[in-house]
Amino acid sequence: MSKTVYDTRFFIEHYYSKNKEVLQRIKEEIRRTKKKYISAIVIHEVYQLTLKKEGRETAILRTHLLEKDFKVINVNSDIAKSSAELRHRYKTPMADSIIAATSLSLNAVCLTDDPHIKSIQEIKTKWISRV
């Protein structure tokens, strides 16, 4: 796979799954993919969830590692407008539409099992269960 945008749900599985098979597929996915991207909104969501569950120190460390291992794509005006169009068309939450618009802007597959993102016809999605 050439380019992949990772949704927040991927990292929720990565950090909190107790299923060894799922964790193995996650490791394989990360190892196999050369061009790994995340939207800046994923940084927000992972930081917020980690802050709530594990505290500030872990949230800072975790998001620092994400910024090191993945290319973070900021929300520019093109992604913002594309996100608004997708949000309007598919009635998706704002964060999901931003992640989808990021995938669209990069012409990349979005790795997610989120039904909101999967419903967006303009992008291709896949999930680790099919890796």
Counting the structural domains of the chain, the total is 1
Is the model's pLDDT at 128 over the cut of 60?
yes
CA-CA distance, 19 to 125, in Å (whole number)? 22
Is the model's pLDDT at 99 over the cut of 80?
yes
pLDDT of residue 131: 43
pLDDT of residue 126: 95
Percent of the chain clearing pLDDT 70 (strictly above): 98
What distances in angstroms separate CA 30 from CA 8, 68, 78, 114, one per listed residue?
Answer: 14, 13, 28, 19
What is the residue range of 9's domain? 3-130
- Residue 126: CATH number of its domain: 3.40.50.1010
Three-state secondary-structure class, residue 92:
coil
- 2 band by pLDDT with thresholds 50, 70 and 90: confident
Q: What are the pLDDT digits (tens) for 9-53?
A: 999 999 999 999 999 999 999 999 999 999 999 999 999 999 999
Cβ–Cβ contacts within 10 Å for residue 68, how many? Answer: 8
Look at 22-31, 84-93, 96-105 and tell me which has the smallest mean pLDDT. Answer: 22-31
Q: Which residues on neighbouring strands pair with residue 111, listed in sequence order?
A: 6, 126
CA-CA distance, 124 to 106, in Å (whole number)? 12
Percent of the chain clearing pLDDT 90 (strictly above): 95
- Do 114 and 96 touch, CB atoms closer than 8 A? yes
Longest CA span, the chain: 40
What distances in angstroms separate CA 11 from CA 80, 86, 121, one per listed residue?
Answer: 23, 23, 23
When pLDDT is averaged across residues 117-123 and rounded to a whole number, the result is 97
